[in-house]
Amino acid sequence: MTQAPTATRPSAAPATGRRRRLGDREGPLAWLFLLPAVVYVVALVGVPFVLAIGFAFSDVSAGDPSYDWAGLDAYRRAFDDPVFWQALRNTLVFTGVSMVLIVLFGKVLANILIADFRGKWLVRFLVLLPWTTPVALSTVSWLWLLDSIFSPIDWILRQVGLLEGNMYWLGRPTLATASVIAVHVWRLVPLAAVIMMAGLIAIPRDIDEAARVDGAGFWRRMFEVTIPLTMPLIAVAALFGAIFTFTDMAVVYVLTRGGPTNSTQVLASWAFVRGIEGGDVAQGAAIALFLFPLLLAAAVLILRAVRRMQVM
């Protein structure tokens, strides 16, 4: 508001007649800005989610799309199939192992990223690439890298003399499992590294310097100062790693289709196989939602713990 009217007539009351512009009204404005996000979330997350819950307790299938309540029938069918239990076990193993490796490598990478050296911008860019490429696309290139006959990895091993013939990376259960985990780790480490890097950057420089002067070496500074101070962000990185591994089906689906003989099947891919390819929509939904409550609880607990840590 301008001073002009009051300046010429000092006795007049403040100019109340003026209309507030849209920019002054924060309530409606907030809604206006939030609307696209709300529409997006409701349409692409909310609706499918509610639909999935509905399907899980129905008998909907590709052949008979009419909705009938069927209680826990779909779950019963899922539980009776041993592949479901294998997929559940695989999911937990993949998630657990990936999470540990993601945090570990992410931490190492974060330390490299904050180091000051020539060409650090190039390194940072390269490091972030795996995270920025679409999962399906990068997994296809991994498919080629791990090809049973033309795998470049095998070729290198053969040239070095460590291998004769082929590894059949995706053809043997243990190697296929390792491959899937490796791809998950490869694609999520950059994200974890960037999250943890933010934590490292936030540590005041003189705290690290004080530790140096106090006589602490690299490992002591790492374990007694750096890691405790960045714990909340490490936890967040772990949570992200776990959730992305847990909910992803693209890697398994592109790489192995769950094979050989379901040894890399995870809940997400199994839900797809049953619900979409097999046409049993109800069972697919039931499988997909099976661990949702657990996941939610874990996420809430971790975020709560992070909030309570309050290290600074």
Partner 1 sequence: MTRIVEVRGLRKTFDGRHQQVEALRGIDLATAEGEYLVLLGPSGCGKTTLLRTIAGLEQPTQGEVLIGGNVVNELPPRIRQVAMVFQSYALYPHKTVRANIVFPLKAQRMDRDAREKKARWAADLLGISHLLHRKPRELSGGERQRVALARAMVREPAVFLLDEPLSNLDAKLRASARDELKRFQQRIGTTTIYVTHDQAEAMGLGDRIAVMDAGRVRQLGHPREVYDDPADTFVATFIGSPPMNLVRRDGVLVGFRPEHLLPAEVVRERAVEIPFVVDRIEYLSGDRHVYGTVTTLGEATRVIARLPSTVATPLTAGETADFTVATDRLRFFAPETGDRTDAVPLAWSRS
DSSP string, 35-91: HHHHHHHIIIIIHHHHHHHHHHTB---SS-----B-TTHHHHHHHH-HHHHHHHHHH
Sole window of 38-46, 155-163, 187-195, 225-233 interacting with partner 1 (rule: CB under 8 A): 225-233
**CB-wise, 47 or 305, nearer to partner 1?**
305
Q: E strand or H helix at 305, and its extent? A: helix 292-309
Candidates 215, 293, 307, 308; binder of partner 1 (CB under 8 A) is 215
Residue 210 binding partner 1, by CB under 8 A: yes
Determine which residue in the list 196, 225, 234, 268 makes contact with partner 1, applying CB under 8 A.
225
The residue within the footprint of partner 1, chosen from 5, 46, 48, 204 (CB under 8 A), is: 204
Residue 212 lies near partner 1 (rule: CB under 8 A):
yes
The yes or no reply on residue 293 touching partner 1 (CB under 8 A) is no
Of 4-12, 38-46, 208-216, 249-257, which segment contacts partner 1 by CB under 8 A? 208-216
Tell me the three state secondary structure of residue 264.
Answer: coil
- Report the nearest approach of partner 1 to the CB of residue 216 (Å): 5
Q: Answer yes or no whether residue 209 interacts with partner 1 by CB under 8 A.
A: yes
Stretch that binds partner 1, among 35-43, 46-54, 201-209, 264-272 (CB under 8 A): 201-209
Count CB atoms within 10 A of the CB of residue 4.
Answer: 9
| Span of 57-65, 99-107, 189-197, 199-207 interacting with partner 1 by CB under 8 A | 199-207
Q: At 310, give phi and psi (nearest 5°).
A: 45, 60
Asked if residue 202 binds partner 1 (CB under 8 A), the reply is: no
CB neighbour burial string for 57-92, b if at least 16 within 10 angstroms, e if fewer: bbbbbeeeeeeeebeebbbebbeeeebbebbbebbe
Asked if 217 touches partner 1 (CB under 8 A), the answer is yes
Q: Name the residue among 300, 267, 112 with its Cα closest to residue 194.
A: 112
- Residue 13 DSSP symbol: P
